[in-house]
Chain A
Amino acid sequence: DTEVTQTPKHLVMGMTNKKSLKCEQHMGHRAMYWYKQKAKKPPELMFVYSYEKLSINESVPSRFSPECPNSSLLNLHLHALQPEDSALYLCASSAGGRGQAYGYTFGSGTRLTVV
């Protein structure tokens, strides 16, 4: 299995809703990432998990809450989002290891619309 699977593919939520994005990989990768991508822009890093521990939080608002239950799963919990949070949310994983050039494997993303 060489894929990163993200669910759902599309999500529409109101500003008072609570929802979760899910990401799963079975490649044995020990680093997992959440990115946010606006239209016609490069992905922006949100969070990095390394060996199931949060290692980087790029000053993301608290209405986004990541969770890594185990080495194969990564969740992003959403609460009280704003319309400007509408974007493509991408999950990625890599084999990890400092100083080693592993490419990232990206999922196909969740298209989030906040209304």
Chain B
Amino acid sequence: AQSVTQLGSHVSVSEGALVLLRCNYSSSVPPYLFWYVQYPNQGLQLLLKYTTGATLVKGINGFEAEFKKSETSFHLTKPSAHMSDAAEYFCAVKTSGSARQLTFGSGTQLTVLP
């Protein structure tokens, strides 16, 4: 079975500050990990994904995430928050051989304060 846990349903940061959104996964086999962003009344947009290889993954809009197997984590970071980053962020996991299913975390609402 696979699952993800997102620590913190709400995170607030000041504009220009570091963004850190936490995601821990549980999987019995090597996972594929994803971060999606959802703006109000819109669908989900893929920010970045980890499959194999380099553990530091760079995505769109200046976001990056590091896969740490020893900590079963895949935290999302951005050095400097922008007002336009305010949105809901979902971490998701998919394991090799599963029937093309993503399992989503519960989501983290990011607020950026001026």
Binding site for B on A (CB under 8 A): 4, 6, 31, 40-43, 45, 48, 50, 55-56, 88, 90, 92, 94, 96, 98-99, 101-109, 111
Q: Are A103 and B34 closer than 8 Å at their CB atoms?
A: yes
Q: Are B100 and A94 closer than 8 Å at their CB atoms?
A: yes
Q: Are B46 and A42 closer than 8 Å at their CB atoms?
A: no
Binding site for A on B (CB under 8 A): 32, 34, 36, 41-46, 49, 51, 90, 94, 96-97, 99-102, 104-107, 109
- Chain B residue nearest to A96 (CB atoms) is B100
Knowing A41-B107, A101-B32, A101-B51 are in contact, say whether A106-B100 is a contact too (CB < 8 A): no
- Contacting residues, chain B, for A45 (C-beta < 8 A): 101-102
A98–B109 alpha-carbon span in the complex (Å): 32
A50–B98 alpha-carbon span in the complex (Å): 13
Q: Are A107 and B94 closer than 8 Å at their CB atoms?
A: no
- Contacting residues, chain B, for A107 (C-beta < 8 A): 43
- Contacting residues, chain B, for A42 (C-beta < 8 A): 90, 104-107
Distance in angstroms from B42 CB to nearest chain A CB is 5
Q: Are A103 and B49 closer than 8 Å at their CB atoms?
A: yes
